[in-house]
Structure 1
Amino acid sequence: MSIEAQIRSMLKAMSEGIYEKEHILAMTLLSAIAGESVFLLGPPGTAKSLVARRLKLAFKDGNAFEYLMSRFSTPDEIFGPVSISLLKNEDKYERVVDGFLPTATVVFLDEIWKASPSIQNALLTAINERIFQNGRNTLSLPMKALIAASNELPAEDEGLEALWDRFLVRMVSNCIQTESTFYKMIHQKPNGDITMPIDLQITDELYEIWQKEIGKVTIPDDVCGAVTAIRKRLREETTKDGNKEMDYYVSDRRWKKCFHIMQTAAFLNGRKAIDLTDIPILFHCLWNTAEVIPTIIDIVAGSLTADLDKQMEKLQKEIDQAIKKKSQSVKNEEDTRSQPEQFLLVSYFYYSIRNFPQGKCLFYKADYNHVEVDKASEGILYRDEQKKAWVVHAIYTGAPFDYKIKNAQNVRKIKLQKCNGGIIIDKTPYAFERMMPLSMTSTSSDGVQGLFADDSFMEQSVADTALSTLQKDIIPGLARLQTLFAGSKHLFLSDNDKKIAKKYLDGCDKHIKELEVKIKNARQLL
């Protein structure tokens, strides 16, 4: 049986009779194999303790220790009572640890933030080094995972930051959301004890072998690039007004652990290298307060296409600069006013916009001289069913009122800016239909045709190069990403995680299509 098949079967057995908590179970199993601790945020009665009981089934001869903390909890209740006989007869201060945290495979501590400082200090050592100092003896702990829970996050300025930082995986455990699933839970008959087939359980020997293999999982450059994009965004968030620096703080230790848990995920999914499908695991590793969870999701999901977005941003700037330069040169030569006469008139008052994505589109001729080259001005786009076309009007003082706008549907505001040979609508340039072919357009004073005068060759080359980069590099790059996620059967990503990733890939696809239209239109204008 492959490792992937083994883990899949284990998760199926562990999830029996549990609803809408499969993802939490999967992440706790991943964390246990990676040797990391988990924090569950949620109200009482949402199966948080059940997760820990099920997790122990994954390990051969595994056992669990559970405890509900309070302000009055003592180390004796967590680590075992002091042996009175040893203290009396041999003058040794040692605890009787059997049945307590030092002998447990999986530990569950509810209301963790109510622990006393003495318990917290011992927990830090247990989590960090997997050891417990019992009198003069140092015990090596069999603990694979410590799962802590609370319905609140640690309060500020109470010295809990060090303990909070040790919980790499942080998840929200809510009540059942789907009605159909809720009634499945209601009608469910009591189950007997859930068992894990022996051939699926992880032995200590197998666990050690896996740890060595996990360390060999490679970290490719594209994953490093995504993490770099995340780190950059986190730094940007800390500088925004109203944000606290610690809300987006991730220590070097946590980053090291983040890569380790992604290596573990890749190994358990049968891969020898991390890939971008492991990045969404960081949804559950980087947030510090509940309020920043949506932002963290946006930052992590946005990193999947960060390289493509960076390339597109560069192309967009180059095209904008080329269009601005061309339009400015036309303005300087005072050709802008005479230029519209080259355009084809429709219904006596409109210029026809080429390649408008929603179909036939007309621009009101009288508005052209009221749109500027240097800055964007207000405009309106609406549907005229009589003309069976979209119509663009500029908004300015003294603009004629088109009575059709009053009852028009699909009306929206837009930004307009003049460019050579056409109009820029919401930052996308469009050429007007001309009365003659582009190659026969007006001639400048030195006898060189206007389209090719000055450095037009260079400007059009910019558009050609941009289109080539888009079609040869960016579009195939996104296609590879889409194929990677569509074909992934990642064991530790929930359906919601996959939907979020797909949403951001689809957003990148939309951006690419818009940029492609912009570049193709720019080629006609330059």
Structure 2
Amino acid sequence: MDIRNRIQQLLTAINQGVYEKDTELSLSLLAALAGESVLLLGPPGVAKSMVARRLKSAFKGAKAFEYLMSRFSTPDEIFGPISINRLKEFDKYERAIDGYLPTASVVFLDEIWKAGPAIQNSLLTAINEKIYRNGDSEIKLPLKLLIAASNELPAHGEGLEALWDRFLLRIICTCVKDEQTFYNMLLDDNDKEINVPSELQISEEEYADWRGQINRISLSAEILHYITNVRRQLKRLLLDDEGTARNVYISDRRWKNIVQLLKASAFINGRTEVNSSDLLPLYHCLWNEADECEPIHQLVIRELFTSCLEKMEEITEAIKSDIRISRVRQALEDFKNNCSPRNELEITDYFYYHVEEHGTGHTYIFAVDYLALKEQKKENAPKQAVIYPDPLNPGRSIIRCYPGGTPSSSASQQRVNLYREGTEYLLIDGVRYPMSQRKKGEKTLPTSGKSSQNLFDKLPQITLRNYRNELNQLFQQLSTFTSSLCTDNLFVTPADKELITRYSDEVLKRLRNVEIEEEKLQFNLQQYGGANQKEV
């Protein structure tokens, strides 16, 4: 039986008679195999202690220790009383640890923040190094998992920060939410003993061997890049739509332990390298305050789609660039082939008329578009157009009538309605602007021949990539990636799947919009024959 199927069956076995605690049990087992500790945060009576008892059943011959902390708890109650015999016979101050935390494989400490400083100090070493100093000797603890519980977060300013930082996974526990599940819980015999088959339980030898294999799991540059992006964004985490931000502190020790957790996830799921699905439980490791949970959950999943969004943005910009260039080339082609103006308007760069007094005074309209405009009369509808930065000369603006109807819009474009008044004025949204006239005696520049062709040849080429094929590939990648996130990891939760689906749908909608831009480009090329294209 492979490791994934075995762990899946083991989780099913220890989930018997426990309702809506799948996340707590599965992530606690993951933490145990990664050598990390768990904090369960929630009100009394939500089966926090049962999680620890069930985890004991996952290990062969495991011993458990469970204790409810209070302000008056002493180290004797946690680590064992002082051994009177050792003190009398050998003059050694040692504890009788049998049956207490130092001999347990699975430990559950309830109301953890009520522990006094003496207990806290010993716990720091026990959790992190799995070592307990008993008298003048150090004991290597058999501890596989320490689960702490509380109904509140540690108070600030009471020296609990170090202990809080030791709990890598912080899981919020709630009452049963689903109505039918609640009824099943009421009618079930919760006191019955569960039977975990011995072939599913993890032995000491297996545990040690698995830990060694987990250490050999690799991380790709892509995963490290993802961690870096999340780490940077945590320095200014947006908590709400109003822009409230907070710097979420994550220690270097926690980041190192997080990597160990990711490796354990990859190993359990039968992989030799961490992949994107292993990152899903990450948000349980990053929050410090309750109001950070949801924003961090969204951040962790949103960042998984970054590479897809970056590729989509690159394709979008390339398509828009081709659209702009195609419109310029189409207009110049029309003017060169079809327009022989006999008027007194000044021609600039062979193809433009200058619109005086508009903007900074550097606004130009294609001559072919200007001459096609109608006079402002009741029976005439205005021509819709866009004003945009000239891709050939950023210092000026170009007015271009959109062929075939409504113009597209973007941050760099202004939509306007146009009429002309004779050959002397241009009306932009009802405001009249004079057109530059040729000076007396000035000759009309040629609109055809070698000189205009040289200018035409200098224009940018349309780099006609196979955008449709690239978009189809991106659609397929998105579908495959979304499916793998939801199925490749045993530890994905319903809340994870819901967010994954939501963000995938958002990316899908944006891809549909890119398809529309690609269709606009194809329309332009078909209408004008795709002149002077350079296929790549």
Question: TM exceeds 0.5?
Answer: yes
Give 2:408's aligned residue: 424
Q: Which amino acid aligns with 2:229?
A: A
Secondary structure of 1:96's aligned partner: coil
Is 1:148 matched with 2:148? yes
For 2:161 and 2:148, how far apart are their aligned partners in 1?
15
Q: Please state how far the C-alpha of 1:156 moved relative to its aligned partner.
A: 1.8
For 1:43 and 1:165, how far apart are their aligned partners in 2?
21
CA contact (8 A) 2:269 2:489 kept: yes
For 1:349 and 1:227, how far apart are their aligned partners in 2?
63
Q: 1:339 aligns with which of 369, 374, 379?
A: 369
CA contact (8 A) 2:236 2:245 kept: no
Unaligned runs of 5+ in 1: 351-364, 375-416, 433-443
Give 2:208's aligned residue: 208
For 2:448 and 2:290, how far apart are their aligned partners in 1?
64
Q: Please state how far the C-alpha of 1:445 moved relative to its aligned partner.
A: 7.0
Give 1:225's aligned residue: 225
Q: Please state how far the C-alpha of 1:205 moved relative to its aligned partner.
A: 0.7
For 1:349 and 1:45, how far apart are their aligned partners in 2?
78
Give 2:460's aligned residue: 458
Give 2:279's aligned residue: 279
Give 2:532's aligned residue: none
Give 1:81's aligned residue: 81
For 1:497 and 1:418, how far apart are their aligned partners in 2?
48
Q: Please state how far the C-alpha of 1:252 moved relative to its aligned partner.
A: 2.1
Give 2:312's aligned residue: 312
Evaluate the alpha carbon distance shift between residue 188 and residue 335 of structure 1 in structure 2; reply closer, same or farther with a 3 A threshold: same
Give 1:243's aligned residue: 245
Q: How does 1:276-425 map to 2 (within 5 A)?
A: 276-317=276-317, 334-335=364-365, 339=369, 366=382, 368=384, 373=388, 421=402, 422-425=406-409
For 1:445 and 1:170, how far apart are their aligned partners in 2?
76
Is 1:192 matched with 2:192? yes
Greater alpha carbon shift after TM alignment, 329-338 vs 143-152: 329-338
CA contact (8 A) 2:384 2:415 kept: no
Greater alpha carbon shift after TM alignment, 514-523 vs 206-215: 514-523
Greater alpha carbon shift after TM alignment, 121-130 vs 502-511: 502-511
Give 2:503's aligned residue: 504
Greater alpha carbon shift after TM alignment, 230-239 vs 335-344: 335-344
Q: Which amino acid aligns with 1:423?
A: P
Q: Which amino acid aligns with 2:516?
A: V
Q: Which amino acid aligns with 2:365?
A: D
Evaluate the alpha carbon distance shift between residue 268 and residue 418 of structure 1 in structure 2; reply closer, same or farther with a 3 A threshold: farther
Give 1:491's aligned residue: 490
Give 2:349's aligned residue: none
For 2:373 and 2:70, how far apart are their aligned partners in 1?
80
1:382-427 deviation line (CA, Å, top 9, x unaligned): xxxxxxxxxxxxxxxxxxxxxxxxxxxxxxxxxxx98652523476
For 2:68 and 2:401, how far apart are their aligned partners in 1?
72
Q: How does 1:132-143 map to 2 (within 5 A)?
A: 132-143=132-143
For 1:4 and 1:518, how far apart are their aligned partners in 2?
44
Q: Which amino acid aligns with 1:339?
A: D
For 2:445 and 2:177, how far apart are their aligned partners in 1?
72
1:171-225 deviation line (CA, Å, top 9, x unaligned): 1110001111111111113442223211111111111111111122222233233
Secondary structure of 2:460's aligned partner: helix
Give 2:253's aligned residue: 253
Q: Please state how far the C-alpha of 1:338 moved relative to its aligned partner.
A: 7.5
Evaluate the alpha carbon distance shift between residue 44 and residue 337 of structure 1 in structure 2; reply closer, same or farther with a 3 A threshold: farther
Give 1:406's aligned residue: none
Please report the RMSD computed on the Cα atoms of aligned residues, expressed in angstroms. 3.7
Secondary structure of 1:458's aligned partner: coil
Q: Please state how far the C-alpha of 1:76 moved relative to its aligned partner.
A: 1.1
Evaluate the alpha carbon distance shift between residue 426 and residue 176 of structure 1 in structure 2; reply closer, same or farther with a 3 A threshold: farther
Give 2:331's aligned residue: none
Q: TM-score, normalised by structure 1?
A: 0.76
Percent identity, please: 39
For 1:519 and 1:82, how far apart are their aligned partners in 2?
78
Q: Please state how far the C-alpha of 1:54 moved relative to its aligned partner.
A: 0.3
Evaluate the alpha carbon distance shift between residue 465 and residue 135 of structure 1 in structure 2; reply closer, same or farther with a 3 A threshold: same
Secondary structure of 1:58's aligned partner: coil
Give 1:118's aligned residue: 118
Q: Please state how far the C-alpha of 1:454 moved relative to its aligned partner.
A: 5.5
Whichever of the two has the greater Rg, that structure is 2
CA contact (8 A) 1:430 1:522 kept: no
Q: Which amino acid aligns with 2:251?
A: S
Secondary structure of 1:335's aligned partner: strand
CA contact (8 A) 1:227 1:303 kept: no
Unaligned runs of 5+ in 2: 329-351, 356-361, 390-397, 417-443, 526-536
For 1:93 and 1:104, how far apart are their aligned partners in 2?
21
Greater alpha carbon shift after TM alignment, 119-128 vs 271-280: 271-280
Q: Which amino acid aligns with 2:460?
A: M
Give 2:344's aligned residue: none
